[in-house]
Amino acid sequence: MNNYIVKDENAIYYEANYSSDNALFLKLGSECFILTDSRYEIEAKESVKNGVSVLITKNLYKLANSLIKNSKIKKIIYDPKEWSIFSFRELSNNLNINFKERVDLSHKKRIIKKEYELELLSISAKLGVEAFDRLANKINKFGFKKDEYSLTYIAKEALSKKGKYELSFEPIVAINQNSAKPHAMPTSKKLKKSNLLLVDAGLKYKRYCSDRTRTIFAKKDFSFSINQKFKSKKIQKIYDTVLKAHDVAIVKARSGMKAKKIDSFARDIISKAGFGDYFIHSTGHGVGLDIHEMPYINSKSDTIIEDGMVYTIEPGIYIPNEFGVRIEDMVAMINGRAIIL
pLDDT at residue 123 in the model: 98
- Asked if the model's pLDDT at residue 162 lies above 90, the reply is no
Which distant-in-sequence residues (6+ apart) come within 8 Å of 258 by Cβ? 301, 302, 303, 304, 305
Give me the domains of the chain, ranges plus CATH numbers. Answer: 3-109 (3.40.350.10), 115-340 (3.90.230.10)
What does the pLDDT average to over 129-147?
96
Count Cβ atoms within 10 A of the Cβ of residue 297 and give its class: 0-12 exposed, 13-18 middle, 19 or more buried: buried
pLDDT at residue 100 in the model: 97
What pTM, to 2 d.p., does this model score?
0.94
Which distant-in-sequence residues (6+ apart) come within 8 Å of 297 by Cβ? 259, 260, 262, 263, 282, 283, 284, 285, 311, 312, 313
pLDDT at residue 128 in the model: 97
Model confidence band, residue 92 (pLDDT cutoffs 50, 70, 90)? very high
